[in-house]
Structure 1
Amino acid sequence: MIRRFLFSLAAITALSIPVAQSALAEGTVPTLAQLEVLPGWDRADGTRVVGLHITLPPGWKTYWRAPGDAGIPPLIELNGSRNLSAMVPEWPTPHVFSQNGMRSVGYRDDVILPIILTPESPDAPISLRGRLQIGICKDICVPAELMFDAALPPGSARRDPQISAALADRPVAGRDAGLGRITCSVSVTADGLSLSADFLLPSTGGTEYAVVETANPEVWVAEAVTRRRGDMLHVQTEMMHVEGGGFALDRSGIRITVLGSDRAVDIQGCPAP
């Protein structure tokens, strides 16, 4: 459990912005992953919207930001990038996969990941240099590593319909999905904390799966148990700090994503009863 957490912790600290070129690093299986940068457009606030298009062979999958116990989140190194002060990924709604009794969360075949870039100087090109590491799986799982070195000049105003569609496919905010009263109960366990969340939310369709995240990257969160009674949804999970022992839980930093067959809902914050 600790080793898996440490790997995930390193991976979730950053995301990828690859170039319009695909190449797997020496020692990995070739031609399984292809990446293309969709240059996107500049926004009025000075940020830049780009799209990372990941293409896999039929039936292969890669993972969401919180990939589940059986998944591997993406890892990025941005060594050498210039004119870039921040980036924020805008994750499209993922799918839930079951394999060998374990569940993972991610994307099959291909996905466009929109990313919002904040340049230090909006009037200068953004230089992106580094490498992307992802896990890709079918009957087996293999690592894929892609080096990138790209320049994104400023001045583009034309919206890319593919990126726009991916942005529209993000989970719906709780307030827009009919989210009602929500409360979180926290209790101490032998390994850390137990979290129980109860909230009013219309069904998202079919068998629902909830993913719980915290604002602290050093806190490991177990796969959640999800139960519904009418419009009331109950989500329970366990949390543990990587170094063991107790830790403070920021309720405002709790994020619960409910994935159903009809839609996904993004719930941020979980107050006390």
Structure 2
Amino acid sequence: MKYVLAALLCVLSLSSAARAQDTGPIVRAELRPGWRQADGSHMAALHLTLAPGWKTYWRSPGDAGIPPEFHWQGSENVAAVGVIWPTPKVFYQSGMRSIGYVGEMVLPLRVTGRTAGQSMRLQGTIDLGVCSDICVPQSVDVGVVLPSEATNRDPLIAGALADVPFSRSEAGVKSVRCTVGVDSRGMTLRTDIDLPTGKSTETTVIETANPLVWVAEPKTHRAENGHLISETSLSHVEGSAFALDRSGVRITVLRKGHSVDILGCDN
């Protein structure tokens, strides 16, 4: 529901253009088998290689993107699959912000088995939005055996894990204050983060625990006291009233070098 507008823009409006062109092999996908971890879980990864000039999207893709959807039916001895998101890039097209990856994406997957100490088979279908001058929905089928005896770390997966945003404590965040207000469009949210200044331009992505709440692109700046301030508006995609759970607010600060992933407000 949250991405209905983006889906219409990327699929319906451009579908005739997509059919009119020979897009060729836009995306190649594989699951990398990775290694078994000390806690019994298995670290694997989805590896996407995109044709030159094409991009795909992050979990919160912005106003002009569609997030990946994962369907793991057909897997064996798999209880859960957790997706670990490396730091994405920010793109602007037709005045709208989108967030994702260009050229290649290695998405680490933490796989938990039903029976400890046994091999697993991870198998499923991934639905993707991929865009260049046009947008084309893609559905890729992937599968791999995750051997219980695998211990060697895959450098490609390890590199993606090293590019995951810092946590709040790792980044030295001292406080996160969230102030809720109202305007003509609905609810407003102002976040005030005591975070050491980075060496590059900073932009933020704000998510909520409610998937039916749409969050506008925040306006972000540094205040005189050095705090990072972001201001945005929120509305329910069905026009309904809603309450904001501050503990479910997720703020990602994107910048060159390591970004920061902050879960929850202090107030």
TM range (shorter): 0.7 to 0.9
Corresponding position of 2:121: 127
Q: Which has the higher strand share?
A: 2
- TM (norm. structure 1) is 0.85
Corresponding position of 2:18: none
Corresponding position of 1:238: 233
Q: Percent identity?
A: 46
Corresponding position of 1:261: 256
Distance between the aligned counterparts of 1:43 and 1:3, measured in 2? 35
SS at structure 2 position matched to 1:245: coil
In the alignment, structure 1 residue 109 sits paired with structure 2 residue 103: yes
For residues 22-58 of structure 1, the C-alpha deviation after alignment (integer angstroms, 9 at most, x for no partner) is: xxxxxx9541101122111111111100011111122
Corresponding position of 1:95: 89
In the alignment, structure 1 residue 160 sits paired with structure 2 residue 154: yes
Structure 1: gaps of 5 or more residues: 9-27
Q: CA deviation at 1:90?
A: 1.1
Match runs of 1:181-196 below 5 Å: 181-189=175-183, 192-196=186-190
The 8 Å contact of residues 191 and 245 in structure 1, kept in 2 or not, is answered as no
In the alignment, structure 1 residue 251 sits paired with structure 2 residue 246: yes
Paired residues in the alignment total 254
Q: CA deviation at 1:131?
A: 1.1
Change (3 A) 1:37 1:2: closer
CA RMSD of aligned residues (A): 2.3
Distance between the aligned counterparts of 2:261 and 2:247, measured in 1? 14
SS at structure 1 position matched to 2:39: coil
Structure 2: gaps of 5 or more residues: 9-21
Q: CA deviation at 1:229?
A: 2.5
Answer with 96-105 or 117-126: which moved more: 117-126
Match runs of 1:1-273 below 5 Å: 4=4, 29-189=23-183, 192-230=186-224, 231-272=226-267
Q: CA deviation at 1:5?
A: 6.3
Q: CA deviation at 1:200?
A: 1.5
For residues 141-182 of structure 1, the C-alpha deviation after alignment (integer angstroms, 9 at most, x for no partner) is: 111111224332322111111111110111111222221222
Letter in 2 for 1:118: T
Letter in 1 for 2:237: V
Corresponding position of 2:15: none
Q: CA deviation at 1:7?
A: 5.7
